[in-house]
Chain A
Amino acid sequence: MNFWEGVRLALNTIRTNKLRAFFTVLGTVVGVTFLIAVITLIEGMNAYVEKEFKGAIYGVNTVVVRRFPAVNMEADGEQWREFVRRPRLTIDDAEWLSERMETPGLVSLSAETDGAVQGPRGQQLENVQITGANAEYFEARELEMQAGRTFSRQESDKGVPVVVIGSGIAEALWDNRNPVGQELRIRGLPFRVVGVLKERGSLMGFSMDNVVVAPLRAGGMNGWVNRQRNAVGSLTYKVPEAELIRPAMDELETLMRVRRGLKPSEGNNFSVETAEDSLAFWDKIRTILLLALPMLVGISLIVGAIVIMNIMLVSVAERTREIGVRKSLGARRKDILMQFLIESSALSAAGAFLGIGAGVLLAKGVQAATPMPATVAPWSIALAIFLGVGVGLAAGVYPAWRASRLDPIVALRSE
């Protein structure tokens, strides 16, 4: 009996007993559903972090200088006390650096806070991300305009009260009318709207269009948005191509140490990092999740295998006479062994297919209901099929071996 003959036979057996087959492979279905759903969500997060998060939060091809790293998963109290003792970055630091940097690039400054803004008729808008920045900020972050313009270098340097607003603000305060030239109040002070940013959507459930960007030196901004006059939250150095990231980092670090007058024995009292550096924590989380997953999935698959094995033993017992008939007609041990092995693998593989479908649906459901993104990884589907067949094979070995060893005379006599 060849392999495909066995598969056809197995599928027939499954088809004639669908409900029982379903319950037999429930363990496999649950295990694979879980596997696919979790991997799909992890990979979704990963793709999201890679594609959206880095660009949206850090910009492409950028090196960021800060007082301390943006993400501190492992910093303890001692570390935090050291962080807050560090001097803040200042606008003067930025100017000093931009005069000396030899690696081509742009220096972008920004400081951010959350606050309220008022529309022309006094409408209050809460929880707006208010950013103080220089003119290069827009280019460094690759922000595109929907209407109007960004503010100029002169406006930035002189602290002219102009503001660029996110599309969400434009919609909330001006509806469909053009906000360019209109007045927006920040902390009660009037700012003239010069431009509207293109819609950027949301990141992890937070809108990126609910923002206003004004010159950092503007009255009302300086000393508030940056908490200390002329301080800067972060300094972003944008280089034209990825190969320049490393040289820019080295140069920024060297210059900053000179600027701060640090001795060779002293550590940096600032941080220089790229998007990849600060998102290294995500790689760690992903690795932990992907390593913990097999244990959880493994338990359901082991339970699944035990159930399949038991049902296959029952099936062998029920079909003892059939086995006897097949043997009397010339089936060898290996024919019977293969028949039952293929049957249990096909059964479990079918369960894996169900699980793949359910897992993808589950992940898509989570995606629809929460900000969590989902991306189906082809390797996870291959893994699920491999595991499904493997579980079936492992579970089928003993029942199939028992079937193959049946004495045809005894088997033919059974009822």
Chain B
Amino acid sequence: MSDDKPIIETRGLQKHYDLGAETVRALRGVDLRIHRNEYVAIMGPSGSGKSTFMNLIGCLDTPTAGEYVLNGQPVAGMRDDDLARIRNREIGFVFQTFNLLPRSTALENVELPLVYAGTGKAERRRRAADALKSVELGDRMDHRPSQLSGGQRQRVAIARALVTNPSIILADEPTGNLDSRTSEEIMALFARLHEEGQTIIMVTHEPDIAAHAERVVTLRDGVISSDVRQAPAPVAAREVRDPVGAEA
């Protein structure tokens, strides 16, 4: 399942926050390799550094020290605009609060990363529509987020993450704002994407959500405290093909 070259490799990754008098060492040296098509859950109590780690993995921030190679590209020393390009091409974000643009339709939301990639309008439309169809929302393309249920919104966000064919899907508490039934629906979607070959990294503090991953990395006090491979838990509910009635 994993080839020789990891898609993510961090070596001695550190992040310090200078808060005037004291320096907070949020990450104290993290070494992690994630290979293509792995499904990894990153866990840890609050203050463990998992959010900081996610920001670094997501190229939203740069490390104080250490190295980070994403899909063969050393990212650690990059400037803002280069990081933006990497985020655009390599990473598909899925957020706890969905983070859809409220005044745009589902289709326009999914198109957005392609707008910044400079993709032409017709192709953008087509690829965004395909992505929405792949998350079973082909019939909701012209709906605004406010007209969609929580689960549907998160699936729009997943379509947006998928539309650029990124190297990794980076999900931050993707079920944090969803009820358990809808959470299962999203987990089922992730399981399917994983089966289809996607690399998924999911930050969560819920053990039963982490149970869906095939590998669980736990952070504590800014370092990896455990890195366990496991058999993914079976998906409890079937992925909902017809979303009618699947309200959050």
Q: A1-B116, A335-B116, A412-B95 are in contact. Are A330 and B88 (CB under 8 A)?
A: yes
Given contacts A321-B99, A322-B101, contact A330 B80 (CB under 8 A): no
Q: Establish whether residues A329 and B113, one from each chain, have CB atoms under 8 Å apart when the complex forms.
A: yes
B60 touches A329 (CB 8 A): no
| B116/A332 in contact, CB under 8 A | yes
Given contacts A1-B115, A408-B60, contact A332 B84 (CB under 8 A): yes
Answer yes or no: A326 CB below 8 A from chain B CBs: yes
B101-A330 in contact (CB<8A): no
Contact status B88-A409, CB under 8 Å: no
Query: In the complex, A333 Cα to B87 Cα: how many Å?
Result: 13
Q: Are B93 and A333 in contact (CB under 8 A)?
A: no
User: Is B89 interfacial (CB-CB < 8 Å)?
Assistant: yes
Closest chain A CB from B133 CB (angstroms): 20
Number of B residues contacting the other chain (C-beta, 8 Å)? 25
Whether B113 lies near A325 (C-beta < 8 A) is no
- Residues 110-148 of B, flagged 1 when their CB comes within 8 A of A and 0 if not, give 001101111000000000000000000000000000000
A5 interface contact, C-beta 8 A? yes
Partner of A330, one of B55, B85, B95, B100: B85
**Majority SS of interface residues in chain B?**
helix
A327 within 8 A of B: yes
- A334 closest partner in B (C-beta): B81
- State the main secondary structure of chain A at its contact with B: helix
* Chain B positions within 8 Å of A16 at CB level: 103
- Is A72 in the interface zone, CB < 8 Å from B? no
With both beta carbons as reference points, the residue of chain A lying nearest to B115 in the complex is identified as A1
CB <8 Å contact, A332 and B85: yes
With beta carbons under 8 angstroms apart, the residue of A2, A12, A322, A328 that contacts B87 is A328
Which residue of A2, A325, A332, A412 is within 8 Å of B81 (Cβ)? A332
Contact A333 B60 (CB under 8 A): no
Distance, CA A238 to CA B93, complexed state (A): 86
Q: Is B58 an interface residue (CB 8 A)?
A: yes
- The answer, yes or no, to whether A331 is at the interface (CB within 8 Å) is yes
B61-89 residues with Cβ-Cβ distance < 8 A to A are 61, 80-81, 84-85, 87-89
| Complex-state Cα separation, A322 to B100, whole angstroms | 8
Most chain B beta carbons < 10 A, residue from A2, A5, A324, A325: A325
Q: Is B58 in contact with A328, judged by CB distance below 8 angstroms?
A: yes
Using CB atoms, name the residue of chain A closest to B58: A328
Instruction: Give every chain B residue within 8 A of A321 (Cβ-Cβ).
Output: 99
* Residue in chain A with minimal CB distance to B172: A412
In the bound assembly, the distance between CA atoms of A199 and B113 in angstroms comes to 71
By size class, the interface of chain A is 20 to 34
Interface residues in A291-342 by Cβ distance below 8 A to B read: 321-322, 324-335
Q: Are B89 and A330 in contact (CB under 8 A)?
A: yes
Known A-B contacts A335-B116, A409-B60; the reply to A327 vs B101 at CB < 8 A is no
Task: Report which of B84, B117, B118, B160 forms a contact with A327, defined as CB distance below 8 A.
Answer: B84
Q: Is the CB of B89 within 8 A of A329?
A: no
Closest to B170 in A: A328
Mask: chain B, 160-201; 1 = CB below 8 Å from A; 0 = not: 100010000000000000000000000000000000000000
Please tell me if the beta carbons of A329 and B112 are within 8 angstroms of each other in the complex: yes
Bound form: Cα–Cα A12–B84 in Å: 25
In angstroms, Cα B118 to Cα A2, docked, is 8
Q: Tell me the minimal C-beta distance from A333 to chain B in angstroms.
A: 6
Collect the chain A residues with CB atoms within 8 Å of residue B95's CB: 412
How far apart are the CA atoms of A1 and B112 in the complex, in Å?
Answer: 10
Distance, CA A313 to CA B60, complexed state (A): 24
The answer to whether B81 touches A333 (Cβ under 8 A) is yes
Q: Which A residues fall within an 8 A CB radius of B?
A: 1-2, 5, 12-13, 16, 321-322, 324-335, 408-409, 412
For the complex with contacts A1-B115, A1-B118, A16-B103, 14 further pairs of A-B residues with Cβ separation under 8 Å are A2-B118, A324-B99, A327-B84, A327-B87, A328-B93, A330-B84, A330-B89, A330-B113, A332-B81, A332-B84, A333-B80, A333-B81, A335-B84, A408-B60
Interface of B toward A, CB cutoff 8 Å? 55, 58, 60-61, 80-81, 84-85, 87-89, 93, 95, 99-101, 103, 112-113, 115-118, 160, 164
Can you offer 7 A-B residue contacts whose CB atoms are under 8 A? Answer: A12-B103, A329-B116, A330-B85, A330-B116, A335-B116, A409-B55, A412-B95
